[in-house]
Amino acid sequence: MGHRQRIYQVTEAGEKARANPPVGLSLPCRRILGLVQDDTHFAVIRAGMGMCEEQQVAGWLDELVKAGLVSAQAAADDCDLDFTDSLSLSALAARHNAG
C-alpha cells in the first residue's frame, strides 16, 4: 500500500503528544500531527505541508506511525480525491435518495 492510498488517524498517544510534544519530536512531525483530523487522506496532509517534498512527508508519517502517534489504513475505493473514476448519475441519485 503506497502512501498515496492511505488514510491516517491520530492515536491516543498522538493526542497526548499534541498537548505535550515529546522532546525528540521534530517540528514537521508536530505540524503533521496538527493536520491529521479524524480520517485524513495522505493528499490532504501533503497539501498542508506546503513546500515539502512528497517523500519527506511520507518519511515523517512513517516516523509517526512507528512511534505509535498515528495509525494508517488503506483508503476506501470510494475515496477518489482526483475524480478520475467514472461518474454515474444514477448511482449518485440512488445514494441521495437512500439517505
Per residue of the chain (99 residues), what is the pLDDT tens digit?
Answer: 577 889 999 999 999 999 998 889 999 999 999 999 989 999 999 999 989 999 999 999 999 999 999 999 987 755 555 555 566 677 777 777 876
| Burial class of residue 8 in the structure, from the number of CB atoms within 10 Å of its CB (0-12 exposed, 13-18 middle, 19+ buried) | buried
> Cβ–Cβ contacts within 10 Å for residue 55, how many?
9
Cell of 31: 505540524
**CATH number for the domain including 51?**
1.10.10
Distance CA 84, CA 74 (A): 18
Structural domain for 31, as ranges: 3-98
The secondary element (H helix, E strand) that includes residue 34 is: helix 27-35
| Number of domains the chain is built from | 1
pTM of the predicted protein model: 0.74
Q: What DSSP string describes 44-98?
A: HHHHHTTTS-HHHHHHHHHHHHHTTSEEEEEPPTT--TT--SPP-HHHHHHHHHH
